Amino acid sequence: MAEDALDDIEGVGDGPEKKRISGKRLIIFGAILLLVLIGGGVGAAFMLGLFGGQEPPPAEEGAAAQPAPPPPPSSQRAFFFEVPDLIVNLNTSGRKSTFLKIKIALELESPQDVDRINDVLPRIVDNFQVYLRELRVDDLNGSAGMYRLREELLRRVNIAARPVKVRDVLFKEMLVQ
């Protein structure tokens, strides 16, 4: 009986027998690995544009050899006028006040227009404040809200500064609190 127990104990440490991978499985795993590597290489080549038929982007040396674009003619040169900072109370239905602080620059066509803008600046600021006080926070959300605000301010400044033509209204800072 003691010998049987010794045989059982000797067999415990051996563990499971090691299985060999058959030749068919080895070939299948090798083929899958090969396909993954080839697919990755082809994908990388397409990402780099090797098969696209397009010319590669010019090297830095070629880019430096190209002449710089000519400066815009003086008639297309932009002049900027800074409007004083505006702080307005937005239209809210609740008791809590919401404020808008905005910094605006106006793009003008010529330096002579600056004098005319300075002459009518109180009218421009008044037009901006009357419009901004009627806005709600929802009116300023997203890029569409910013676009509508820009277009309306541009319309109002061009009416107030007539005959001067303001090209664009640029937002330098906008804070809603």
pLDDT at 106: 92
CA angle 51-54-60, nearest 5°?
A: 115
pLDDT at 153: 92
Q: At residue 97, what is the residue type?
A: S
How far is residue 86's CA from residue 172's CA, in Å, rounded to a whole number? 12
Cβ proximity of 81 and 161 under 8 Å: no
Cβ proximity of 174 and 128 under 8 Å: no
Decide: helix, strand or coil at residue 1. coil
How far is residue 16's CA from residue 88's CA, in Å, rounded to a whole number? 81
pLDDT at 148: 92
Each residue's pLDDT, cut to its tens digit, for the chain (177 residues) gives: 555 555 555 555 555 556 677 888 889 988 999 999 998 888 877 777 665 555 555 555 555 556 666 555 555 677 899 999 999 988 887 778 888 899 999 999 888 888 889 999 999 999 999 999 998 888 888 888 899 999 999 999 999 988 889 999 999 999 888
How far is residue 47's CA from residue 140's CA, in Å, rounded to a whole number? 40
How far is residue 114's CA from residue 135's CA, in Å, rounded to a whole number? 28
**What secondary structure letter does DSSP report for 93?**
S
Please name the residue that has the structure tokens 């058959």.
22
pTM listed for this prediction = 0.55
